[in-house]
């Protein structure tokens, strides 16, 4: 039979398909519990057999070859499902975490008195910054300029701009840490 398959005898190939398809399909369904996937697995098995017929080396019965191939393909699908399910759980947890953070941020507010205190601290820190750092920070935060734009505008390197912004942020962060989590 293998000899006829290797020669590309489509009549023999069709006969094998008719004999084995239903049995292999039911075998695949018993693993996958999904008719469409089971049918795909069996069809892929026959397609693979036909495409690789010239290099076909079957050391057991043809029946064993078919069932072993379908078995291996089903195991691959089940493993893939497990990986996908793991990713779905991770994504659901991340989504839930984001929802919780959003809800807590939406409920977070300052009283008028606290806002006045924060503004005073901000002004005090801003005024205490060196002139160049203050100007770079203002361009970055108030005018939304990129580090590269600021560097070009002030004839500095991007690294220098990053240094000044980092320096300003550390000062603000340190002074305002009691107001923010």
Residues 6+ apart with CB under 8 A from 50: 5, 13
| Per-residue pLDDT at 106 | 56
Q: What is the pLDDT of residues 55-85, one digit of tens each?
A: 877 777 888 889 999 999 999 999 999 988 8
CATH of domain 2-80: 1.10.1740.10
**CA–CA distance, 58 with 98 (Å, rounded to integer):** 54
Instruction: Tally the residues of the chain.
Output: 181
- Is-above-0.75 flag for pTM? no
**For 86, what's the count of Cα atoms within 13 Å in the CB-facing half-sphere?**
6
List the domain boundaries for the chain: 2-80, 112-176
CATH fold of 112-176: Arc Repressor Mutant, subunit A (1.10.10)
The pair of three-digit structure tokens given for residue 76, joined into one six-digit string = 């691959």
**Model confidence pLDDT, tens digit, residues 11-38:** 888 999 999 999 999 999 999 999 999 9
Query: Are 126 and 98 spatial neighbours (Cβ–Cβ below 8 Å)?
Result: no
């Amino acid at each position: 039979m293998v000899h006829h398959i290797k020669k590309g005898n489509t009549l023999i190939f069709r006969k094998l398909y008719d004999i084995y398809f239903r049995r292999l399909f039911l075998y695949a369904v018993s693993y996958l519990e999904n008719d469409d996937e089971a049918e795909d697995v069996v069809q892929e098995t026959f397609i693979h057999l036909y495409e690789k017929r010239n290099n076909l080396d079957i050391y057991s019965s043809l029946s064993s070859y078919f069932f072993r191939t379908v078995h291996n393909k089903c195991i691959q699908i089940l493993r893939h499902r497990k990986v996908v399910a793991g990713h779905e759980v991770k994504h659901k947890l991340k989504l839930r975490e984001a929802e919780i953070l959003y809800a807590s941020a939406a409920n977070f507010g300052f009283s008028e008195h606290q806002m006045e205190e924060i503004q005073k601290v901000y002004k005090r820190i801003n005024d205490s910054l060196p002139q160049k750092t203050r100007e770079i920070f203002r361009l970055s935060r108030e005018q939304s300029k990129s580090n590269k734009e600021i560097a070009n505008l002030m004839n500095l390197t991007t690294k220098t701009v990053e240094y000044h912004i980092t320096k300003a942020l550390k000062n603000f962060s340190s002074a305002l840490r009691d107001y923010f989590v």
